[in-house]
Structure 1
Amino acid sequence: MKTLVSAELTKVGEKFIHAGMANVCKKCRLKKVCMGNLKIGRIYKIVKIYDKIFPCEIYGSVKLAEVEPAPLLIAYPSSKVISNALMTYSQIPCDISDCEYFGYCGKVRGLKEGDKFKIVKVAIEKIRCRKGYDLKLLEVQPIV
């Protein structure tokens, strides 16, 4: 999908979280191409940047770019892992904030409860869950 990215700060391979539309963007003639394809809270990866430069009140100038949803790491119950299947994300309840896997279990940046994803690969076959859950660490591709 296409969007507009900062002409000065972005490179192919970089990721960003779409935070939504600023007030100044509401009157911009480019808002549809800039914001129209992106979903708030999603993480995107830049795969191609075009040379054409457009003015922007926030960044000064922007370029047209091809982006795709970025792969994410999540912890997921081992019993629910099915390779090549379309899966539905649900948070794993956890309050152990000093756990090394905490950011992969609860509120994972870039995914919301009920979002669809596909498993890219199993990153860690069995993680040491301090709550005793049987979990794998997965690299997943969100379906937007």
Structure 2
Amino acid sequence: MRRVVTLVSKEQAEVGHRFRVVEVPDECRTCRLYPVCMGRLTPGRAYKIVEVRPYMGQRCKITDGEMVPVVVEEAPMIGLVPLNKALEGVVVTFEGECAGCEGCPQQVQVGEKIKIVRVLGRAKCRGGDFAIVEFYALGPPSPSKSGGATASRDPSRAPPSRPLSK
């Protein structure tokens, strides 16, 4: 998946270490290192360190600890999707069908595209059958149909029909 260079504490800087960004503290947003540190990560997503780069003397504004450059890749998330969408390798739109149950994806927005990596099992949510899957979120939701330049589906605006030729 997507790889990005970011900064982590010296204690976390180990290949294979996984971490989740819960939220970005306000103090980070005013730090000069923000664009290469927390600014490159998405809250709610999990990451795995795949490469540790040499320490270059950066220090965290909040903890005053040493910050080490690392290459991370987004780690797959685990959540529930409807059984009819649970096919390995398929990209689907998360519609929020599962909401409020344990295991429902909370780090994904309705309308966001997700790629199913692996089907792990089955679960029930609000009486419906769902699959437990590993998935990657591929990006923010598509623009809404009401705003932006999208094609109109109004039948009165459809081109006139023509008979099919043989």
The TM-score range, normalised by the shorter chain, is 0.7 to 0.9
Q: For 1:70 and 1:93, locate their aligned partners in 2 and report how far apart those are by CA, in whole Å.
A: 21
- The residue aligned with 1:76 is 81
* TM-score w.r.t. length of structure 2: 0.68
* Distance in 2, Cα, partners of 1:18 & 1:48: 22
Question: Given the alignment of the two structures, is residue 115 of structure 1 paired with residue 112 of structure 2, yes or no?
Answer: yes
Q: Aligned in 2, Cα 1:93/1:18: closer, same or farther, shift over 3 Å?
A: closer
Assess if the C-alpha contact under 8 Å between 1:87 and 1:116 holds in 2.
Answer: yes
Instruction: Name which of 118, 121, 137 aligns with 1:142.
Output: 137
From the two aligned structures, give the one with the greater strand fraction.
Answer: 1
CA–CA distance in structure 2, aligned partners of residues 56 and 133 of structure 1: 46
The 5 Å alignment of 1:1-144 reads: 1-13=4-16, 14-23=18-27, 25-53=28-56, 54-59=58-63, 60-94=65-99, 102-105=101-104, 108-124=105-121, 126-127=122-123, 129=124, 131-144=126-139
With over 3 angstroms needed to count, the CA separation of the structure-2 counterparts of 1:139 and 1:77, relative to structure 1, is same
Deviates more, 1:132-141 or 1:76-85: 76-85
Cα offset, 1:94, TM superposition: 5.0
Residue-pair matches, total: 133
Report which structure shows greater RCO (CA 8 Å, sep ≥6): 1
Root-mean-square deviation (CA, aligned residues, Å) is 2.2
Cα 1:104–1:130 change in 2 (3 A) is: closer
Cα gap change, 1:132 to 1:143, in 2 (>3 Å): same
How far did 1:109 drift? Answer: 4.2
> 1:122 offset after TM fit, Å?
0.7
User: TM-score, normalised on structure 1?
Assistant: 0.77
Q: Flag the structure with larger Rg.
A: 2
Question: Cα 1:76–1:121, aligned 2, differ >3 Å: closer, same or farther?
Answer: same
Report the Cα distance in structure 2 between the residues aligned to 1:50 and 1:3, rounded to whole angstroms. Answer: 10
Identity %: 32
Distance 2:13 2:39 in 1: 19
Partner letter of residue 137 of structure 1? I
Unmatched runs of 5 consecutive residues or more in structure 1: 96-101
In structure 2, stretches of 5+ residues that fail to align are 140-166
